[in-house]
Structures are given as structure tokens and as C-alpha cells.
Amino acid sequence: MQLITGISELVTNAASAEGTDESSTSTHSTTEVGQLNVITDAAIIIDGERVAWSGPAAEADAALARLGSGSGDAADTIAENVETIDLGGKAVIPGFVDSHNHLIFAGDRSAEFAARMAGEKYSAGGIATTVAATRAASDEELEANLVHLLDQARRQGTTTFEIKTGYGLTRDDEIRALHIINRHTEESTLIAAHVVPPEYKENPEAYVDLVIDEIIPAAAGRAKWIDVFCEKGAFDEDQTRRIVEAGKAAGMKPRLHANQLTDGGALQLGAELGCISVDHATFASDEDLAALAAAGTVVTLLPGVEFSTRQPYPDARRYLAAGVTLAIASDCNPGSCFTNSLPFCIALAVRDMHFTVDQAVWAATAGGALALQRTDVGHLGAGARADFVVLDAPSYRHLSYRPGVHLVERVVAGGELVADNRPRL
């Protein structure tokens, strides 16, 4: 066991602001929407991959004794087996849950980004450039690129990753992407309906049939999620409905890329289809928001996309006032947004989407977990996975107060130190 003390602020996102103790509950604790639950002068006890207890430092000894009595060992044996780490006054938050990523790709589109910054508009068509480069790449190249991006993101505090296919767009290329994804995360998403590939340009319906009749059956059991880019220039609402229904019938859970570029009916369709999350939602009417709130669909906002495409930022205050639960994710991809930094996305969300600091930190941790239907991550109550970030700062507020500064000092995932950004001799 490890006892971590010297935590100036511990963001638990756990349902109770008091100490949480596994021995007092039959299952692990849960989160309450929007509640950060910050404990000042806190401690946390880790047992293997899990949080055994978190709470005020003054109560840590009593918690250790309780946990020890449950194990049947004498108190002095417990004390000998506890490693104590004193952080000396740093903030600790749950690891970021990045619920939207396109990380299986090859090639570079920095010229497209530069052209956008010089006035060009983003369009779905750029995806085809990455499709050509991805098809031409070897499995080893694709996996090496993925590993590199995951490592970068971990160093910035991300401990849970969703990863999508979508740059293969043939049965074999989509399935090989899933094979690679399955080696790195359980949050695997099939988005064969990303765009219509060039070879089906004259007959998009034939591609929709291929997705339904061949790609989805081959992906069953390998993809947890089915996703569609429902947008002008990609897939219309009727095609989206058919593809999502086929994915659901094959055991996948639904999520959508919806209303990224235009204010079509994709958000209400997402609510109707029982999507766990609809992502982007850059454009949303009051009716869209009411339908999503009623359906309990999470809306995942992607501030890096608005930043990188110069689109207008949606106003989080409107979405929250409508009763919608918000998550924040990076959408790391080579086209519309090539950042994998959740601290950067949090800073943007606060500054430009009008999240409060607390709402943004919650949305990038507990919100991401809800968007992936995960109860074991995104919080630090007893029973949660021991996934957390030590900040080189006294308060979690510094994440947006000090934009662009590397505040992620250490990252622990499943009780293991997976990134350490402290300077070394």
C-alpha cells in the first residue's frame, strides 16, 4: 500500500466530499454531475491498482488502521507495508479521460493548418489525404505513431484514451486499425463512416452498404463503440441512422460526430438513437439541447477543434443551463485539431467556451468517464482506478490560470508511475 500525503488540494469528483473508504461501501464510490469535491490538505491511500481511501490528511492514520483491521494483519505489519510519499503541497486531480481521439493515421497536414490560419475554411474533404497516407503505411508505422502520441498525452496527464478508426475505409484497413487499437485501450471505436472514400465517390450508397454488410460484422467484438460523422460532405441522417442501428445490432454502443460544421439534425438524431455521447455540437438549437438533456446524452465539446479551425466556440453556459452534461475531449487528429493536451483544452474551454474552472476540470475527467460509460475512472473515491496527476502547482485552478505552462509533474495510472516530468540530473 502507498500513502500519499502533502496534497494541498485533492480533486476527487467523488460523490462524498468527506473521506471515502472502500470498507464502508460494497462497491466503489461514484461521481455526481458537476461536483469536483475538493479536499484541502488531503491524503490518498493506494492499494495495487485501486484507490483504497481518500480524504483529509488528519484522518489518514485512522483510515489505514481500518483498512488494516479488514486485512486481518496486525497494525504494525500494516505500517511496515505502507510506503509514504509526501508531495510537499501539490494539487492532485484524477487522470484526464480523453473520450475522443483519432490516433491511427500516417502523414502530415500541417500545410492545411497553415492555409486555414491564412483564411481557408476547414472541410471534411481533407480526411481523404490522411486516408491515402494511412492505407500506404505499414502496421508497424501506424502503431509507432500511436505509441508516440499516447506517450505525449500521458505526459500531459491523460490516463484513459478512446481511439477511433476512420482513416482506412476498407474492411481490411479498418479491421487492422482496430487490431492495433485493441492492444492499447478498451475504448475502441469503429468510424468506418468517417467520409465516403474516393473510390465510392460516384456511389456513396454502395459504401454505406459495405459498412453495414461487411465492415461492421467484421468489427463485431473488436469495437466497443460505433460512430458516424453525420455532416454535409460526410453522411446524412438517414445513412447515419442505418449505420448506427447496424452497429448496435452487432453489440456496439453508439456515439456521433454531430453538428460540427452545420446546424443539421444530427444532435436530435443522436438523442433519438440513444447515443451515449454526441461530440462537437458546435452548433446547437434550444430544441437540440432539450432533446439531449431529456435523453441523458452527454455532449462532448472539443475546444481544440474550434481553436484549430477558427470556428465559433459554443457557449457552455447555454448547454449547462439546458440541463445537458458536458465532457471535454481533445479530438486529437491530423486534420481539424492536432493537440493531445487536455490542460490546453481546459484553458480554452474556460477562456473561450465560458466554462468555470471547476466545470472544465470536471468535464475533462468525470465528464469524459460518463461519455465512455466508465465508473472506475474520472474520480478518486475509494475503489476507483488509481489514475491521477500530481500538478506542479498548489491548486487545480492553475490549469487554466497558467495556460501553456507544463504543470503536469507526475502521472500515475493503475497505481504505476507512467510519466515523470521532473527535471533529472
Q: Which three cell numbers stand for residue 105?
A: 493515421
- Of 227 and 387, CB closest to ligand NIG: 227
Residue 300 CB contacts under 8 Å (≥ 6 apart), including other chains: 99, 100, 277, 278, 279, 280, 281, 326, 327, 328, 329, 367, 368, 371
Of Fe ion, ligand NIG, none, which one does residue 277 interact with (CB within 5 to 8 Å by kind)?
none
CB of 243 to Fe ion, least distance (A): 16
CB of 332 to Fe ion, least distance (A): 9
Decide: is 240 part of the binding site for ligand NIG (CB under 6 A): no
Decide: is 127 part of the binding site for ligand NIG (CB under 6 A): yes
Is 106 strand, coil or helix? coil
Nearest one of 27, 96, 142, 185 to 379, comparing CA atoms: 96
Contact 252, 223 (CB under 8 A): yes
Decide: is 126 part of the binding site for ligand NIG (CB under 6 A): yes
Decide: is 306 part of the binding site for Fe ion (CB under 5 A): no
How many other C-beta atoms can be found within 10 angstroms of the C-beta atom of residue 27? 9
Decide: is 334 part of the binding site for ligand NIG (CB under 6 A): yes
Decide: is 305 part of the binding site for ligand NIG (CB under 6 A): yes
- The distance between the two most distant Cα atoms of the chain, rounded to a whole number of Å, is 75
Strand blocks (E) in 185-304 = 187-193, 225-230, 253-258, 277-280, 298-301
CB of 127 to Fe ion, least distance (A): 10
The CB-nearest residue to ligand NIG is 335
Number of residues counted as binding ligand NIG (CB under 6 A)? 13
Decide: is 297 part of the binding site for ligand NIG (CB under 6 A): no
Decide: is 130 part of the binding site for ligand NIG (CB under 6 A): yes
Binding range to ligand NIG, per CB under 6 A, among 126-134, 180-188, 220-228, 366-374:
126-134
Among 288, 331, 387, 409, binds Fe ion (CB under 5 A): 331
- Angstrom distance (rounded) from CA 385 to CA 359: 22
> Which residue ranges make up the site for ligand NIG (CB under 6 A)?
102, 126-127, 130, 229, 257, 260, 305, 331, 333-336
